[in-house]
Amino acid sequence: MEKGFLEMKTKVIATIIVVLVLGFAGISDADIVELDLFSIGCPTEFDWDSSYWQEDFDLGVEFVDIDSVYIDWSGEITAGLAVLDDNPDEPFPLDVAISAYLDIPIDAGTSVWGGGGTYPEPEPFDCQSDFELFGLGTWSGLLDGQATIWLYYEGLIIIGGRYIESGSIVLDRATLRVEGVIVPEPATMWFLVIGGIWMTRKLQRNKLN
């Protein structure tokens, strides 16, 4: 009888601890973890000749859940110059983009297009650009805080035409931000465990009384 009581007591304690840990993760406000892309080698200029940059990164934290991922960036976009095949003597400005991509298994991307409306002057931009998941992409690939990011120059696909002059992008700021619930640190986990044990014992004493 006493053995069965002890086993039941152990199960109750374990259940309360699990509920506390999961409850803590569920009710915690989302945190925002930032990574300055310049700090890991991101260039400030992109064009045909310097069209992309790739780098692995580690945010230094792990997540229970991820709500959103975006880049907070600013700079200037200068349009490219294009022509149509049937009218090659009349070039016209055409938007280009700075794009970002989080590699598989995440498989998510975002872009900022511009330049065509202000050519030959550059068009400034300053925005938060949300990553969108593609196909079978999932944020679970970023729960460990590690991934590979690409930034690259991009032009439009022109039916019956082509670019004859590269556009360009100059970045003033490029910060990756991940918003989600961070896995509690070991010290916090121990606090929850101890709190769970204390709570269980207090409940049992109250019942005995």
**Alpha carbon distance 13, 18 (integer Å):** 9
> Is the model's pTM score more than 0.85?
no
Answer whether residue 65 is part of any domain. Answer: yes
- Domain of residue 93 covers 30-184
Contact 144, 155 (CB under 8 A): no
Residue 107 is assigned to a structural domain of this protein: yes
Q: Is residue 3 part of a domain?
A: no
Residue 205 within a domain: no
Q: Quick check: 170 and 44 in contact, CB under 8 A? A: yes
Nearest-CA neighbor of 177 among 64, 67, 45, 44? 67
Residue 6, in any domain of the structure: no
Give domain status of residue 10, yes or no: no
Query: Which pLDDT tens digit goes with each residue over 110-129?
Result: 999 999 999 999 999 999 99
The mean pLDDT of 185-202, rounded to a whole number, is: 48
Share of the chain above pLDDT 90, in %: 71
The whole-number pLDDT of residue 8 equals: 53
Is residue 8, in this structure, part of any structural domain at all?
A: no
Question: What is the tally of structural domains in the chain?
Answer: 1
Domain CATH number, residue 119: 2.60.120
